[in-house]
Amino acid sequence: MARLTSFLLLLSLLCFVPLCLCDKSYGGKLFPGYYSHSCPQAGEIVRSVVAKAVARETRMAASLLRLHFHDCFVQGCDGSLLLDSSGRIVSEKGSNPNSKSARGFDVVDQIKAELEKQCPGIVSCADVLTLAARDSSVLSGGPSWVVPLGRRDSRSASLSGSNNNIPAPNNTFQTILTKFKRQGLDVTDLVALSGSHTIGFSRCTSFRQRLYNQSGNGRPDMTLEQSFAANLRQRCPRSGGDQILSVLDIISAARFDNSYFKNLIENKGLLNSDQVLFSSNEQSRELVKKYAEDQEEFFEQFAESMIKMGNLSPLTGSNGEIRKNCRKMNS
């Protein structure tokens, strides 16, 4: 009887598995095995190119994660960020969040070129960005997750959407949270996804205000730990040097871990948009503390929030197209 009960339980679970691949947790029509027959080597191609790029420059992992984030917050995860200006397209690359800072487009080009050799016209640029983001996390020591696939590429871009939807480094906590909520993301997603700032760099122009004129009164941000602020002022002058880089995580800038959250507790978050997670809201403060204490908890939530963000308004079915070149529409 016990064996029969176990068998029936196993059978019921097996019957449920196919449904899991297509339910809402995988973005409706998105599912991990989307290319299993049409381009089974797609994942390995993306992983191989990203691995070589990150081996050449560890910063590239953060850059590719950022591309995915900046793409998904504008029209959904549709590869619109990758389009160059041409004809009726005004590129999102020229927006305030992306100009002179968004990078990694050449790596996306390399991935797409290799995919077109092996599986022409099959794998979308939007899915390339999504897979590259996951692989960037893994290659930096961060979590992995199963990536739902099947996105198609947009035939439009939105410069205004890029300027308005993507949180800015000097935004208040409430403004940032509002921008996340517009995308269907909550405070837990906000804190977890901000944890990607455990790797990478930021430009002087993005945090200068905190060092010299936080509130328009000519005084620095007093929530910034003073010795940390003094070191930053040595690198980032009051004027000029906009492109000078500083690490987002002073403990382990090239390793994906939970030290970002430990920095916030010590008032050593580089960007205002980082530090306000600890200083401006009780719920986000408790999440920062939790992730600082438990890296596994952070990794699990980061993976869950990345899947959630990756499912934002995907183009599926006959919507959009599969670009041959990620920088331009097919026709």
Q: Which residues are annotated as a binding site for substrate?
A: 167
- Please state the separation of Cα 42 from the chain's center in Å: 20
* Known binding positions for Ca(2+): 71, 74, 76, 78, 80, 92, 198, 249, 257
Pair type for strands 245-247 and 201-203? antiparallel
- Please state the separation of Cα 245 from the chain's center in Å: 19
* Known binding positions for heme b: 197
Q: What angle do CA 138, 53, 71 make, to 5 degrees?
A: 70
Q: Residue 281 region, left (φ>0) first, then alpha (ψ -120 to 50), else beta?
A: beta
| Main-chain dihedrals φ then ψ at residue 129, nearest 5 degrees | -60, -40
Rounded to a whole number of angstroms, the distance between the first and last alpha carbons of the chain is 64
* Known binding positions: 71, 74, 76, 78, 80, 92, 167, 197-198, 249, 257
Question: Dmax of the chain from CA atoms?
Answer: 79
Q: What is the DSSP letter of 73?
A: T
Written as one string, the DSSP assignment of 190-249 is HHHHHGGGGS-EEEHHHHHHHHH-TTSSS---TTS-HHHHHHHHHHS-SSS-TT-EEES-
Nearest to 193 by CA among 135, 126, 128, 261: 261
CB 289 within 8 A of CB 279: no
Written as one string, the DSSP assignment of 77-106 is SSSGGGPPPBTTB--GGGSTTTTTT---HH
Q: What angle do CA 307, 97, 214 make, to 5 degrees?
A: 110
> What amino acid positions are annotated as catalytic residues?
70
